[in-house]
Structure 1
Amino acid sequence: MHAFSQSTSSTPTAVAVPPALSLPVIEAAFPRQLHPYWPRLQEKTRTWLLEKRLMPADKVEEYADGLCYTDLMAGYYIGAPDEVMQAIADYSAWFFVWDDRHDRDVIHGRTDAWRRLRFQLHAALDSPRDHLRHRDPLVAAFADTMVRLYSFLSKKWNERFALHFHAVIEAYDREFRNRSSGTVPTVEEYLELRRLTFAHWIWTDLLEPSAGYELPAMVRNHPAYRRAALLSQEFAAWYNDLCSLPKEIAGDEFHNLGISLIHHEGLTLEESVVEVRRRVEECINEFLVAELDVLRLADILADGTVRGKAASVAVTACLGNMRNWFSSVYWFHHESGRYMVDNWDDRATPPYVNNEAAGEK
């Protein structure tokens, strides 16, 4: 199967999807979209990575566009105002760099450096303006994204986002401790942890500033809306596991649904791939059902009042972007250099990472 990449040139190029990872239903029923701001988005995020010193200049030049981080977000939050789209894209790029720092801290046994970073991120999340000039570029850049993201909706939305991200930081700490001790989580433990390390509710929260509307709790917590949101994120997390399995086995990583299935359920590598793929396909099928339930919810919300109409329009927009997440995630995994381990000199060491901790040589 092929898609046409818009990632690194103005000339589309065919992208082949390996048969084991091909999902015809995504290619047929989930048309790919791209935010019209994308070309500018890519340029500005590349500049931001340099200005915030999140990646060395040579790595930004060689790898930033090919990693397709902006493509992933520009295929998701369709309809977002440009400034919201930019803030989300920069935050997403930061998240990938943080994930890489976490991985390198594990690999190099930098327990003190990780603990320090963990506490600094918690502090920056609660008072980002106080950390804009932090000596660790990762903390300062995070604070910058938080100041911007906190500017779009209300204090209540900010508090909700912060609550969700505090939990993500702690989940990364649990993963650090698991990897440091050689602990492979059980399937159920992993699924619970993955919802946090993949930041399911963070990406769902960001649907609201993209729609320009803060959803009331009764809508966000409605079983139909919550289920559709969860399924879109579960698909993304498990498809990521499917695609990153070779990378994570090479990197001695334990946190992958396939690895938990092999270690705790006695599956072979081939059997675990089949099972993860089955769960991925189940997410797609269940989302198509949940999508109809959310559309019915949107109809009910449109009760003839101005407020009801606004809520209905926002829910429909958020649902549309949940749908966009499927295609954006799918094609990202086949276009991004993040998963092309066969092209790396060392399959355990991504060529785009910085192996140094902040302030260390």
Structure 2
Amino acid sequence: MQAFPRSTTVTRTAVVVPPSLALPVIESAFPRRLHPYWPRLQENTRLWLLEKRLMPADKVHEYADGLCYTDLMAGYYTSAADEVLQAIADYSAWFFVWDDRHDRDIVHGRAGDWRRLRHRLHAALDAPGHHVHHPDPLVAGFADTVLRLYGLLSRTWNLRFARHFHAVIEAYDREFRNRTEGYVPGVEEYLALRRLTFAHRIWTDLLEPSAGCELPDAVRKNPAYRRAALLSQEFAAWYNDLCSLPKEIAGDEVHNLGISLITHEGLTLEEAVDDVRRRVEECAGEFLDAEQDALRLAHDIDDGTARGAELGAAVRTCVDAMRNWFSSVYWFHHESGRYMVDNWDDRSTPPYVTNEAAGEK
């Protein structure tokens, strides 16, 4: 099923969710929404992937729409201006391509290629304008998206975004070493690493340009706001683990909450699936309470001044997007070809990736 291009609210879906992955609380308490710009977003991101040579033309033609990367963002930042959503969606598509390159570099033992890419991404994050024509399409594409994102808010926001993404790059390096060495992190170690590799802070940072307002530290660091944001991201990361477990076991992965539970807590596969599912359901339930606390914060901020009204409205928009993340992530995992391993010729090799190390020829 594709997203619905003519509506911003989706109440029914033709997708059949496997019972082991079905979450009634999401289907009942988190109605699905979609940004009205979605049809053009999908088309423009597909063209951007081609223009930046981030995927071979045949793979873009055959797989890009079915991977549903734009659907995921269009179901999250539903209040963003069209050009803001486009910048975020292109960045998100880049992120998935980067994740695939990272995986292929590990599988094929390309430690030198990964090391060079890691350093180049750090450099492009700090000076994107100097890297938009880099010979490696992944570096050039990253620089293009970062440059666009940096134009949305202030330099303070840019520096925060850069600081948070530098940490993501380093977390990916830790994953590279872990997988190369066959090291499975313990549960708590994994959860801390997952918050970085899933880029919790990045997606939360991007709530602000989507709301058209940079939030001061006093708001962003308020426990009510932070808890709602964290729960939405934890849900997404852990539900991804739940849905990705067959793919990642087939690919000899070591980074999955289920794999850590099996390795370090002695759980069977069935018990691990039940444990991850319980955590996911608890995130959704706890968010409903955290959401009300965050909305009360927005009410308190709106103190009758113009600035208070602006910040209160921005917080409400951000919290609304946090809510959207639940349904968008949920349906994405059942619509995207990224997780349909049973349809792949080789369950350990996604058909939409290329095994070459681009930029190193």
Q: How do residues 335-350 of structure 1 correspond to structure 2 at under 5 angstroms? A: 335-350=335-350
Structure 1, unmatched stretches of 5+, are: none
Match of 2:201 in 1: 201
Partner SS for 2:14: strand
Provide closer, same or farther for how the CA distance between residues 137 and 8 of structure 1 changes in structure 2, counting only shifts above 3 A: farther
Match of 2:243 in 1: 243
Q: How many Å separate the matches in 2 of 1:225 and 1:111?
A: 39
Q: How do residues 261-276 of structure 1 correspond to structure 2 at under 5 angstroms? A: 261-276=261-276
Query: Residues 7 and 65 of structure 1 are in contact (CA less than 8 Å); yes or no, is this contact kept in structure 2?
Result: no
Query: Residues 78 and 321 of structure 2 are in contact (CA less than 8 Å); yes or no, is this contact kept in structure 1?
Result: yes
Q: Shift of residue 39 of structure 1?
A: 0.1
Q: Shift of residue 359 of structure 1?
A: 4.0
Q: How many Å separate the matches in 2 of 1:360 and 1:131?
A: 16
Q: Percent sequence identity over matched residues?
A: 78
Q: How do residues 289-328 of structure 1 correspond to structure 2 at under 5 angstroms? A: 289-328=289-328
Match of 2:170 in 1: 170
- What does the per-residue CA deviation read over 1:24-73, in whole Å, with 9 as the maximum and x for residues that have no partner? 01000100000000000000000000000000000000000000000000
Q: How many Å separate the matches in 1 of 2:4 and 2:131?
A: 33
Q: Root-mean-square deviation (CA), in Å?
A: 1.4
Match of 1:354 in 2: 354
Q: How many Å separate the matches in 2 of 1:66 and 1:7?
A: 14
Partner SS for 1:153: coil
Query: Residues 4 and 34 of structure 2 are in contact (CA less than 8 Å); yes or no, is this contact kept in structure 1?
Result: no
1:6 aligns with 2:17: no
Q: How many Å separate the matches in 1 of 2:140 and 2:2?
A: 32
Q: How many Å separate the matches in 2 of 1:14 and 1:27?
A: 12
Provide closer, same or farther for how the CA distance between residues 306 and 111 of structure 1 changes in structure 2, counting only shifts above 3 A: same
Provide closer, same or farther for how the CA distance between residues 118 and 156 of structure 1 changes in structure 2, counting only shifts above 3 A: same
Match of 1:59 in 2: 59
Match of 2:226 in 1: 226
Q: Shift of residue 5 of structure 1?
A: 3.6
Q: Shift of residue 360 of structure 1?
A: 5.0
Q: How many Å separate the matches in 2 of 1:91 and 1:20?
A: 31
Q: Read off the aligned partner of 2:131 and give its amino acid letter.
A: H
Q: How many Å separate the matches in 2 of 1:148 and 1:283?
A: 33
Q: How many Å separate the matches in 2 of 1:228 and 1:281?
A: 15
Partner SS for 2:15: strand
What TM-score do the two structures reach when normalised by structure 2?
0.97
Partner SS for 1:15: coil
Q: Shift of residue 8 of structure 1?
A: 9.8
Q: How do residues 180-199 of structure 1 correspond to structure 2 at under 5 angstroms? A: 180-199=180-199
Query: Residues 98 and 138 of structure 2 are in contact (CA less than 8 Å); yes or no, is this contact kept in structure 1?
Result: yes
Q: Shift of residue 14 of structure 1?
A: 1.5
Match of 1:31 in 2: 31
Q: Read off the aligned partner of 1:66 and give its amino acid letter.
A: G
What TM-score do the two structures reach when normalised by structure 1?
0.97
Query: Residues 5 and 14 of structure 1 are in contact (CA less than 8 Å); yes or no, is this contact kept in structure 2?
Result: no
Q: Shift of residue 7 of structure 1?
A: 6.9
- What does the per-residue CA deviation read over 1:204-252, in whole Å, with 9 as the maximum and x for residues that have no partner? 0000000000001000000000000000000000000000000000011
Q: Read off the aligned partner of 1:87 and give its amino acid letter.
A: A
